[in-house]
Structure 1
Amino acid sequence: MGALQLDKVVHRHQVWRLFSCIWLHGGLVHLLANMFSLVFIGIRLEQDFGFVRIGFLYVLSGFGGSLLSSLFLQSSISVGASGALFGLLGAMLSELLTNWTIYANKFAATLTLIVIIIINLGAGFLPHMDNFAHIGGFFSGFFLGVVFLIRPQYKWVSQRNSYFGFVAPPVNSKHKRYQSVLWVISFILLCAGFITGTVLLLRGVDLNDHCSWCHYLSCIPTTKWSCKPQEDYCESTEMGNQLNMKCLSNGRSDTFSVSNSSPSQAEELCSRLCS
């Protein structure tokens, strides 16, 4: 259906799943929660910068979240727009910092936004939450916000909009120097991250092999829950080219047409039936 599944992305070259999983959800509650968050976060950004820029930022942030998720959670199937939503939060923060001089009450706004981000990232430490998608989406959105949401400095706008007879102070540059520096750095980091992540993913690299503690970023085990992925178990009987299979975890059963059934194919069908 388009969910993010590493095997199909890497071995079947279905790279489009890195994007399609953003539009899928794990139920009505999941969908409503994400859509409520999208309205709450996205309206202000869309009003200020237009739906084209924010839509582009939303999709690319979702891609960044899917990319990081695939590099760490390689045995999971992931759906949802949370990575893209965290990208909007990251973009709001970077837009505030990049255009710092034009805002009033900037410290209160920054503190409020940081608290919201920390609370939402903290919820990602619970089991069955894809916090790597949240983190990847957030940083993608942060750098995309610098690239796409940079505003011209106030004096330059005043000079362009000055009426006849009024002479505004001359300003040669549309943006302040620190804005230009941040734009260059963010663009380089963004391109490097997307390219490197995509290459590593298509090569089948598991970043957990290079970072022994990173799995704690997505789930912290406690006495109340375990972070180990739930394994799928199925009962199956094969009659000719028909494979009858029942998932023991959810009770679903189905019949599949197969030829020369292999253990890997049976495992994939079991995973699909139990998901």
Structure 2
Amino acid sequence: MNSRRDVERGGGGTKNTYTYSAANSSAYVYVAESRRNPWLVLVCVLVNFVVFIVAMAINNCPKDNFGFQGDCVPGFFGRFSFQPLRENPLLGPSSSTLTKMGALKWENIVHQHQGWRLFTCIWLHAGIIHLLLNMTCLIYISIRIEQQFGFLRIGLIYLLSGFSGSVLSSLFIRNSISVGASGAIFGLLGAMLSELLTNWTIYFNKASTLLNLLTIIAINLAIGILPHVDNFAHIGGFATGLLLGFILLPRPRYSWLEQRRLPAGIRLKSKLKAYQYILGIVSLILLIVGLSIALVMLFKGENGNDHCHWCHYLTCVPSSEWDCDNEN
């Protein structure tokens, strides 16, 4: 039976076989990639929840809150109760606790040489609402691509995207702290987009898949122009994930041919297309150059807004309802 079925689609079981009629009419059996258990996604979710619990324990609102903004909520949570809602409406710790635990803060990174904050901030969240939203998005986005590509590549995309989002955020935001895994999650969205584009030929319903993905990305970026949302981290993470997807997630027109199923004397050649190699090389160069320039600018203390006078509109659009200049 000759078939050119989409390797994204398949029946149950861990492996699905597909046959392809070669030029000499011999039937070669192709085996789709095994579905891996998405343990990395679950570990990331668990770590984020544990870090939040630790942050609340360190925060200890009943001991350190002096009632200026109201009472701790709810009081019966003891040291795990949240800061007053007027101070933190997302139900979480104080900004001083987040800063102590590694929140992104330009002053500390540049003048106190605390570059480690570029990584630690992606494991912190401003509140339980912030945490639940991010973890829901992470689970929804990541499980499928980790099953298909494995934990190593997806973990690398997650960490580098979060790091790059932190770098871009630090270049443009100086007067407030930033926390959250949003940059890393946007990196996974970017990787999904580039994976779709570079592996375009293996998909059915290409246009609808692309449209759905672009809609999700556009809505989330649009939300980032509201106050108190760090859209620079989103943009930096998305751009990095997009490039990393071209580098790490290309795959052959059909899945790899199992060597034991090949007829004697037949060698398996690379099934990657020329455009996939070109996209990967160009993306690697852009990623290295872009990240290097951004890091040099950051540690020299340069302000990104001096080089892009309109970029501040990417993270907050002025309105009669809020003041972007005094955003906390």
Give TM-score scaled by structure 1 length: 0.78
Instruction: Name the CA shift for 1:230/1:134 in 2 (closer, same or farther; >3 Å).
Output: closer
Residue in structure 2 matched with residue 52 of structure 1 by the alignment: 152
Counterpart position of 1:216: 313
Match of 1:122 among 207, 222, 243: 222
* Equivalent residue number for residue 254 of structure 1: none
**RMSD value, Cα:** 1.9
CA contact (8 A) 2:227 2:327 kept: no
**Across the two proteins, how many residue pairs are aligned to each other?**
228
Secondary structure in 2 matching 1:219: coil
Aligned to 1:226: 323
**Structure 1 match to 2:46:** none
Counterpart among 190, 197, 203 of residue 300 in structure 2: 203
CA deviation vs aligned residue, 1:140-192 (integer Å, no higher than 9, x gap)? 000011111111232x834857543897xx98543101101100100000111
Matches within 5 A, 1:165-244: 172-230=269-327
CA contact (8 A) 1:76 1:229 kept: no
- State the match for 1:106 in structure 2: 206
Distance 1:59 1:159 in 2: 32
Note if 1:67 corresponds to 2:167: yes
TM-score by length of 2: 0.66
SS at match of 1:208: helix
Partner deviation per Cα, 1:90-128 (whole Å, 9 max, x = no partner): 000000001111111111111100000000000001011
Please, which of 227, 252, 259 is the counterpart of residue 152 of structure 1?
Answer: 252
2:116 counterpart residue number: 16
Residues of 1 paired with 2:208 and 2:150: CA distance?
Answer: 25
Which position in structure 2 is the counterpart of 1:136? 236
Taking only the aligned residue pairs, the percentage that are identical comes to: 57
Structure 1 counterpart of 2:284, which letter? F
Distance 1:203 1:141 in 2: 25
Q: In the TM superposition, what whole-angstrom CA distance separates every residue of 1:211-242 from its partner, at most 9, and x where no partner exists?
A: 111100111112222212247xxxxxxxxxxx
2:183–2:236 CA contact under 8 A, matched in 1: yes
Whole-Å Cα distance in 2 between the matches of residues 12 and 97 of structure 1? 42
Q: Which runs of 5+ in 2 are unaligned?
A: 1-100
Given residue 125 of structure 2, which amino acid in structure 1 is its aligned partner? H
**How many Å separate the matches in 2 of 1:229 and 1:143?**
34
Query: Secondary structure, in 3 states, of the residue corresponding to 1:78?
Result: coil
CA distance in 2, matches of 1:166, 1:115: 48
User: 1:68-107 alignment to 2 at 5 Å?
Assistant: 68-107=168-207
Q: What is the one-letter code of the residue matched to 1:194?
A: L
Q: How does 1:21-32 map to 2 (within 5 A)?
A: 21-32=121-132
Which has more strand, going by share of residues?
A: 1
- Partner of 1:157, secondary structure, is coil
What letter corresponds to residue 105 of structure 1 in structure 2? Answer: N
Asked whether the 8 Å contact 1:131–1:217 carries over to 2, the reply is yes
Aligned to 1:42: 142
Structure 1 residues 83 and 161: alpha-carbon distance in aligned structure 2, compared to 1, 3 A threshold: farther
